[in-house]
Amino acid sequence: MAALEWLVGPANDFIWTYILIGLLLVIGLYFTFRTKFVQIRLFGEMFRLIVEKKGSDHGISAFQAFTISAASRVGTGNVTGVALAIGIGGPGAVFWMWVIAVIGMATAFVESTLAQVYKVRDGDAFRGGPAYYMEKALGLRKLGIVFAILLTMCFGFIFNSVQSNTISQSFNDVFNIPYWAVGLLLVILTAIIIFGGVQRIVKVTQAIVPIMATFYILIALFVVFINISEVPAMIALIFEHAFGIKEMAGGGVGAAMMQGIRRGLFSNEAGMGSVPNAAATANVSHPAKQGLVQSLGVFFDTIIICSATAFIIILAGLYDKGEESGILLTQASMAVHVGSWAPYFVAVAIMFFAFSSIVGNYYYGETNIEFINAHKTWMTLYRIVVLGMVMFGALAKVEVVWSMADLFMGLMAIINLLVILLLGNIAFRVLDDFTRQRKEGKNPVYKAEPGLKGADCWKDEK
């Protein structure tokens, strides 16, 4: 117990953060150069691929896999986390958030491409992720089980309790609805979805993600429009605080850099090993296609959604008052722009973001439970525990649980980053094959290269 307290204690929080950030940055830059800046040179291709139809009637489409990952990625951190980053690091944190997102797009490409290469058939669908490529590519099933347990605990249980806690707190504060009532409603809605299988999850995320994104982006565009004369000054402020001489002398640049990098990394999940579980489900003709689609997911999460929150806060001019922080800063900033209905807007936004995350997080755990043991009894037990954690989160204070989630997520990321570093050459060759076929004017179709073990779904078979 003492060891656990040391690991998750605040005195050692910065140690984990710096180790993880260092790994993510170094490996992300390595992938950026080895893929020849895939996130920039094939950026337009990502938009074409996201709407591409399935190769057959089986599995789910590239867009549907994108919505599952976006459902988990885009959560309350896009509202509260960005506010914390700006409140601590100033407007300059936004610039570094953008930088780390661009770097993270390369990491997301590699891990999602590997998930596609080593996916497995699951009836008429597919599943996969880091645990699967640890076993199939490296022969390390035990390491895969360790990773699967960490991910299931982190996303399936702990993160879902945090998301339900955020929803219940928000609705109690704004609408005065009892915590137990919010929790019960969340349990019922979650049960209806998760007991319907992956196809029902796909249908829900396919509906929620576009709605919540459009809803939030339109509000941000409205805020920008009514403050259009201030936009040039806002952009200048972001760059000034990111590189400014005054900020450098006072240590502000370091704070802005650290907060922006941290917010970007933990928001878009690039390298964490969570998104590949969604990437593997897609039925595409080439693994690189889903790698590119999930790379776009990083852009969507950080450059679009997180920036929307940042613009709302900076244009309100409250970030340096020191009176509010986190969700309160976002809420106060919204009130400056839209008046008294700001709390209702924030509550609805959190409901969309957090509930979609519950559904996406659940699926990540499901596919890893299947990796450990595919027996139906284990899956039923997992679903019951998930529902229990949703109710627990709605009723309890979850600060200690959140600290444990940070620990589990850090361990997940370290394991996954080291593994994809070892397997990176496979993703690079897959990318080269994709770009070669595109240059030849073909719709790329992948056939596993001779000697590539574990890529059973890509054998040259009818």
- What is the CATH classification number for the domain harbouring 398? 1.20.1740.10
For residue 131, is it within any domain? yes
- For residue 402, give the nearest of 164, 189, 177, 185 by alpha carbon: 164
With respect to residue 440, please indicate whether it lies within any of the assigned structural domains. no
**What is the distance of C-alpha 260 from the center of its chain?**
16
Whole-angstrom distance, CA of residue 368 vs CA of residue 112: 16
- Helices 43-50, 62-73: axis angle to 10 degrees equals 110
Task: Tell me how far apart the alpha carbons of residues 242 and 239 are, in angstroms, rounded to a whole number.
Answer: 5
- pLDDT reported for residue 113: 94
What gap in Å lies between CA 430 and CA 446, rounded to an integer?
8
Token pair of 359 as six digits: 């559904």
Q: Are 444 and 186 in contact (CB under 8 A)?
A: no
What are φ and ψ of residue 455, in 5° steps? -90, 55
Element at 247 (helix H, strand E): helix 245-249
Altogether, the residues listed in the chain come to a count of 462
β-pairing, 125-127 vs 120-122, is antiparallel
pLDDT of residue 428: 94
pLDDT (0 to 100) of residue 56? 57
pLDDT of residue 446: 86
CA distances from 217 to 24, 95, 164, 214 (A): 28, 19, 23, 5
Number of structural domains found in the chain: 1
Asked if residue 331 is part of any domain, the answer here is yes
Question: What's the pLDDT tens digit per position in 396-422?
Answer: 765 656 666 667 777 888 899 999 999
Amino acid in the structure at residue 30: Y
**Would you say the C-alpha torsion 224, 230, 232, 238 has a positive or negative sign?**
negative
What is the C-alpha to C-alpha distance for residues 173 and 323, in angstroms, rounded to an integer? 19
Query: Which segments within 31-162 are labelled E, that is strand?
Result: 120-122, 125-127
Euclidean distance between CA atoms 358 and 120, whole angstroms? 24
Residue at 1 is within a domain: no
DSSP assignment of 284-300 = -SSHHHHHHHHHHHHII
Percent of the chain at pLDDT exceeding 90: 15
Q: According to the model, what pLDDT value does residue 429 have?
A: 93
- Residue 136, in any domain of the structure: yes
User: Distance from first CA to last CA of the chain, Å, rounded?
Assistant: 55
Which residues in the chain come in under a pLDDT of 70? 1-18, 53-59, 72, 74-77, 197-199, 206, 244-268, 320-327, 397-406, 460-462
| Whole-number pLDDT of residue 250 | 45
Quick one: pLDDT at residue 421?
A: 93
DSSP secondary structure letter of residue 152: I
Taking a C-beta distance cutoff of 8 angstroms, is the pair 360, 71 a contact? Answer: yes
For 143, the domain range is 11-431
**What pLDDT was estimated at residue 8?**
40
| Position 6 in a domain | no
Q: Tell me if 402 is assigned to some domain.
A: yes
Question: What pLDDT is stored for residue 1 in this prediction?
Answer: 34
Give the Cα separation of 313 and 333 in Å (integer).
5
Distances (CA, A) of 242 to 251, 314, 324, 448: 11, 14, 22, 45
The answer to whether residue 181 is domain-embedded is yes
Mean pLDDT of the chain: 79
What the block records as the tokens of 446 is 């992948």
State residue 205's pLDDT score.
72
